[in-house]
Structure 1
């Protein structure tokens, strides 16, 4: 499913990829149907020129569909990628080492039918969201298994106590100096 937009580094492998569910285009289809209904009603009740709306009615549905099929989410063994855009392309890459936390969310229908979103908190940048995907809990677990949000704190407890004692000694030394 990946296209030429995804440039992987040497040795990097794709672990998972998808796009949002197609039903995400439903609001655009509903707007298109409403515009078509308004055009037909306007042509019958007011003026035949309102029938032009029937010609324009498919545009919101087509745009909504193109937004869904042109959105891709990819997880590799090194990074997360999100590509979206109909006219232009918005490509976002986040290295797994910058992932601080992940969260999956599901509404009532999402819990019943197995879809939802994964929100990824990124150190030093905007958060990333994989919206309206199947099995969001499994995707979140996979991200964490690959290293996002699960890095251990380096060092032992004794080493960190030694650092704390050294910092306290420095602080006491600085407090004793005249200002």
Structure 2
């Protein structure tokens, strides 16, 4: 008797699947499927390739990020905040200091690691940030500087309002004197023109009129001679 004839099926062996047709006397000894652990290699390989692909795509974005940084400027003046941005075109945003309602400072995970942050500026009536300084070093110091400029501008506005009746400066007085002088000279020219016009309209007695017009004494003498 051959070894195949002596093999006995396992106790509790599953029934043969429907797709399997057994010969008479043939029995199922073992039945199974590939282990799920075989998926681990496929999953890990896919994750690795995904990371590599994503990393490659991220690296493709590095040149654009560099150009964006090179073409972005943040400016703080004594009057306003400015943001210039744009790679293919230039966009300039501005907010006056006296319109600023609130300034917020935030820092991302990478910002904490490399010591940079962002400042968001909102104005009265705006639903969100009106202007923002993104990814700047020493962001808290910049925010404090903006707050200080706001305070000084507010104090200057109050001083200007309280000093509205203050004496004019020397330059203003000089300009006022020049204006008064020019006005006076203009009036003098007008008066001279009016005086010249009146003089030209006054009738003048000529020598011929004096000769041809008899005097009253001559007329009286002629009357006596006639008598």
TM-score under structure 2 normalisation? 0.39
Bigger radius of gyration: 2
Greater share of residues in helix: 2
Greater share of residues in strand: 1
